[in-house]
Structure 1
Amino acid sequence: MTGEVHGGIGAFYATPAGRVAARLVRARLRELWPSLDGRSVLGLGHADPYLDLWQGEAARLVALRPRQLGPPRAAFRSGGRPGPRGGGVMAEEEALPFPDLCFDRVLMVHGLEVAENVRRLLREAWRVLRDDGRLLVVVPNRRGLWAHFETTPFGHGQPYSPGQLGRLLADHLFRVERRDAALFLPPFGFRAVLPVAEFWERAGRALCPPRLAGLAIVEARKDLFAGEPAGAAALRRQVRSLAESLA
């Protein structure tokens, strides 16, 4: 994903179509995580349009964007409210600037499908999550229409089917807990669709299989019995443990 596309994400969410799409996705995220009182939450990718769902109740909200993409050219805040408490951060997606076990929740939107190194991004998410932490991933659905229209940010990067996403998370030490879907309305003809977007979305959820939705949403928790995280952080922990045993 180029910086140009990333900058277009903010521009998309500033349009009427983007605001409606965000509202529909926000409804699903709020259903999955209805309350995060006192929790520490990290948003990876471009999660800014969604993090303020938990503004005022989460202990900390941090939005992180990959450094190579640069800051977005346009920002989106639902209803004009201030941004996430804790502010925004830019960093390498392969080396998040946070200590181990420091977040209760990680929300990944416009992140996984455009990651330059999916394996390292997921391992880093695993590392910074607490042992009882949960990861919520939103990606373009391979079988949905939104993945095939480049006029929206969901039409860029690597789309995933719900099954592919579940297997990918399992391969990286996460256990899938729940699956959901969003954006049953089509990514075209917005002028006619927007006034009835909520009705269309409800009808789609009732009548269409989730595999045809525009977005696949999966919640997973750390699988502590599947293995240990790889990389420098794990190596440092092993060295410390060895040193303590020899002391």
Structure 2
Amino acid sequence: MQENTRIASQFYASSRGNLAATHLRRHLSAFWPDIRGGNVLGVGYAAPYLSLWEQATCVSARLDTPVTRPGPAQGQTQAPMRECVASGTMLPFCDLFFDRVVMVHALEVTDARAALLRQVWKVMKDDARLLVVVPNRSGMWAHADTSPFGQGTPFSHRQITRALADACLRVERHENALYFPPIGPTGGRRWTGVMERAGTRVLPYLGGVCVIEAVKDAYAPVGSVSPPALAPALAPALRLRRAEAFGHATRHDRTRRDGGETTGENAPGHAPTTALRS
């Protein structure tokens, strides 16, 4: 059974997976207490969590990976939902369709992270919200390969924030969860609940997973778009006059004042001359 818990469906069928889902559901419901109506999409393996929002239309899109491809066992999900297996590079949904998107066991196990985030961005409405659950690089669960959280690539908070920003998704809130150990005796729900509360207060950055809420950044640049061409600036019209400096036709470089006549002693290229009187 320990070997099979690397697969998400078998992990949530075990006692440790049931405890992990219970505590994660508490964190997710704190982010989104109630969703009345609308469409909710779960990407990766989010079936154990979509039952939190029973009054919404929930769709589960399991990614086509060895960890998330097998479906849940009978009775493992409590709320009716539509399910499918989808590729991370092409989600079979209309653009601007979902009000909420939950990603669990998705970004760490896919080989096309940027393409998957781009697909999620497209199916989200402009005012939609996204919840991402990824293994914390500093936590214990990322270093124990006996669960799906120990598969693939873990993230630090800075790394997941940068990955979401590159996909035009802006992080608004985040917290960590799963402070009880991923191996050994679980101790039951009461004991793990005590560890969760103590870890949140004492070691907030050492939780097993990071829970990130992000919104669609509709004003961020998408792709490599060349800047728009600017209209050429029109310079004001200038009146030009012919420059007569250094001209041979000019013999005097000063004007006549008071009926007198000035000499061209400062004219360049000519020797000083004397004015003649009649």
CA distance in 1 between counterparts of 2:167 and 2:74 reads 31
CA distance in 2 between counterparts of 1:36 and 1:136 reads 13
1:139-166 alpha-carbon deviations (Å, 9 max, x no partner): 0000100000011110000100111111
What is the aligned partner in structure 1 of residue 150 from structure 2? 155
Alpha carbons 1:93, 1:120 under 8 Å: kept: yes
Query: Which shows bigger deviation, 46-55 or 184-193?
Result: 184-193
What is the aligned partner in structure 1 of residue 41 from structure 2? 42
Structure whose alpha-carbon radius of gyration is higher: 2
Percent of aligned pairs with the same amino acid: 43
Alpha carbons 1:113, 1:157 under 8 Å: kept: yes
Q: What number of residue pairs does the alignment pair up?
A: 221
1:189 positional shift: 2.1
Q: Which has the higher contact order (CA 8 A, sep 6+)?
A: 1
Match of 1:117, as an amino acid? A
Match of 1:97, as an amino acid? P
Greater share of helix: 1
Alpha carbons 2:50, 2:79 under 8 Å: kept: no
1:229 positional shift: 6.8
Match of 1:178, as an amino acid? R
Aligned-CA RMSD value? 2.1
TM norm structure 1: 0.83
1:51-95 alpha-carbon deviations (Å, 9 max, x no partner): 11111x11x1000012354741543756x62442xx101121111
1:85-144 alpha-carbon deviations (Å, 9 max, x no partner): xx1011211111111100011100000101120000000000000000111100000010
Listed as ranges, the gaps of 5+ residues in structure 2 are 225-278
What is the aligned partner in structure 2 of residue 62 from structure 1? 59
Name the SS for the 1:132 alignment partner.
strand
What is the aligned partner in structure 2 of residue 115 from structure 1? 110
Name the SS for the 1:108 alignment partner.
strand
CA distance in 1 between counterparts of 2:71 and 2:33 reads 30
CA distance in 1 between counterparts of 2:74 and 2:49 reads 9
TM norm structure 2: 0.74
Is the alpha carbon distance of 1:167 and 1:98 closer, same or farther for their aligned partners in structure 2, counting shifts above 3 Å? same
Alpha carbons 2:140, 2:208 under 8 Å: kept: yes
Alpha carbons 1:14, 1:76 under 8 Å: kept: no
Listed as ranges, the gaps of 5+ residues in structure 1 are 231-247
Residues 24-173 of structure 1 mapped to structure 2, 5 A cutoff = 24-55=23-54, 57-58=55-56, 60-67=57-64, 69=66, 71-72=69-70, 74-75=72-73, 81-84=78-81, 87-173=82-168
What is the aligned partner in structure 1 of residue 178 from structure 2? 183
